Amino acid sequence: MDKQNLKKKFAAIFGEQDSALFFAPGRVNLIGEHTDYNGGNVFPGAITLGTYAAAAKRSDNTIRLYSENFPEKGVLSFQLDQLEYKKEDSWTNYPKGMIHYMKEAGYAVTSGMNIFYWGNLPNGAGLSSSASIELLTGVILTSLFELDANPIELVKMGQKVENDYIGVQTGIMDQFAVGMGKKNHAMFLDTNTLECEWIPIELPKHALVIMNTNKRRELADSKYNERRSECEQALKELQTKLDISSLGELTENEFDKWKHMVSTNVLRRRAKHAVYENGRTKKAATALKAGELEAFGQLMNQSHLSLRDDYEVTGKELDALVEAAWKQTGVIGARMTGAGFGGCAIAIVETDQLDLFIDSVGKQYESEIGYPADFYIAAVSDGAKRLED
């Protein structure tokens, strides 16, 4: 949707002409899955798909929100002093949570607003549509009310919305990638310290392909929290002998030396994934800096196998996509991305093989699973921002 159309839609819904325009990307994680809440490193990039908004202040205290992605829900309204979570308020809980925490932090959100949202991220696909809405709302508030909130504060508030307001125990990666993205750069992020190194991702002869299983995954209802508590249990057992505060502090060798401390095979495999994936992420950052794309691709493949066999979060749909991708000519690497249990996988594919890749993987997936996958070519983009009029 172009800028003119966004403004027109806003005017049609809210009956006023003047609005400011904003964008927040989605994200893919190139490697480093389920490491963020284990104190490890992640390696995401913001993408050119995301969420757009047109917004304007009101003269009263009413907040009116509309999403072109959920037109059947119409305009949802609430007052500036009515910001508690309500299940029936569906998608608007994400912006509402953000407004709630901005006000709680002392920022002067002094009036209501009209906000029109439209996103081209597939819903429930694991590309961080919720973090995109959260950071987009944070940037809208900062801009409309001329607040001095810095991007890291907005990132932390977005995570608070997920953890404390919605009740999903996610790490900080999604909000960080969406809020701090930089065009043509992946973010090598230490989730303990929030130290980040932006590493150029140059793909002159390759493209990043996002493959959507079209199996929706709802994080709150998935086994995400179960995996998290399994890792916490493994950590607790290791801490009886080791002075560590997270699994991310262990090297692969250290883990292998002490894994007998972990009581069950299942817990051992969960912890092994967290430790080894963190090691792979560090190696991947080194490979990308050195321009070693083939080595990077091999690490992506190993990551998927670990997520499939040790962490058990892939499922038949993601495995079907990734295993089909591995067989195609011109594929550097492929893996699931996001929390798993459905959602998306990514592949790095030679540009001149793209059409054949999409056709072959698509046919194989549909014959195996019974319904089609969707494919998106994405570039690595900037983070959440106000758009120039």
Element (H, E) at 50: strand 44-57
User: What is the residue extent of each domain of the chain?
Assistant: 3-200+382-386
pTM for the structure as a whole: 0.89
Confidence at residue 222, expressed as pLDDT on a 0 to 100 scale: 64
Per CATH, the number for 3-200+382-386 is 3.30.230.10
pLDDT value of residue 319: 97
pLDDT at 220: 43
Mean pLDDT for each consecutive 10-residue tract of the chain (389 residues)?
90 92 96 94 95 97 96 95 93 97 96 96 82 97 97 96 90 92 95 91 92 76 83 98 96 98 98 98 96 96 98 94 98 94 94 98 98 94 92
Q: Which of 2, 18, 60, 174 is catalytic?
A: 174
Question: How far is the C-alpha of 276 from the C-alpha of 279, rounded, in Å?
Answer: 5
Nearest to 375 by CA among 389, 387, 357: 357
Q: How does strand 62-67 pair with strand 113-119? A: parallel
Q: What is the pLDDT of residues 231-260, one digit of tens each?
A: 999 999 999 999 999 999 999 999 999 999
Name residue, tokens 């080595």.
295
Say what the pLDDT of residue 217 is: 64
Angle, helices 293-309 vs 315-326, to 10°: value is 150
174 is catalytic: yes
Q: What is the pLDDT of residues 298-353, one digit of tens each?
A: 999 999 999 999 999 999 999 999 999 999 999 999 999 988 888 899 999 999 99
HSE of 219, CA atoms in CB hemisphere, 13 A? 22
pLDDT for the residue 339: 85
Residues 54, 21: contact at Cβ < 8 Å? yes
